[in-house]
Amino acid sequence: MGDRIIPRYIAIEGPIGVGKTSLAKILANKFGWRLVQEEVGHNPFLERFYENPRKYAFQTQLFFLLSRYRQQREMAQGNLFEKGVISDYVLAKDKIFALINLEDDEIALYDSIYKLLVPTVPKPDLVIYLQARPEVLLNRVRKRGVEYERNISLDYLKTLSDAYNEYFFHYNETPLLVVSTSEIDFVESPRDLEHLVREVKSVKRGTQHYIPLGSR
């Protein structure tokens, strides 16, 4: 009981299609906390990136980094954490994508900017890392039907999932709850959601894994 935490800032992370924003909205509503969402649709390079990744990768990543940094800094100002905050991303996600999409010389430039910005933003009290099999991710991406995501391939989702798994395997900056979502649907199933919320409320320091059998 002594190592249990009472988070006031929870960040949810995971690859495309895993349900980050859905869970963030549900938890924010359930806890009565402020919801912070990343501004994906405001990136003018994103659609072009999915059509031509090599040409637009650096512009896309730099825009995301600066946008997320600005949002995190604004969130840190004032007394926003008095009640609680749920975010559907962590700033570190930007580097995961950068390492996949950028060339070596671009990574070096990107990294120099990243190292200047990251120490100045608040760390979450808890990170929830959502996992799912790449096939499940592809099905969810297709199901939501976002036009600029139509070119996302299974191979890209496999690469992305591997990069996320590698990053969070070594992650130790904050308490971490790793949730396998392949066999559950916390949006449609109240039972799945209830069990997940119970895990979140009972989280302790260090890293914990939640691998439900699922309702389907």
Whether 125 sits among the annotated catalytic residues: the reply is no
Assigned token pair, 79 = 């007394």
Residue 11's contacts (CB-CB under 8 Å, 6 or more residues apart) are: 86, 87, 88, 89, 90, 124, 126, 127, 128
Helix axes 53-76, 93-101, angle to 10 degrees: 170
Cβ atoms of 210 and 199 closer than 8 Å: yes
DSSP H stretches of helix in the chain: 20-31, 46-51, 53-76, 93-101, 104-117, 134-144, 154-169, 190-201
Cα–Cα distance, 53 to 51 (Å, whole number):
6
Torsion, Cα 208 14 116 78, to 10 degrees, reads -80
Catalytic residue among 3, 88, 185, 192: 88
Catalytic residues: 88
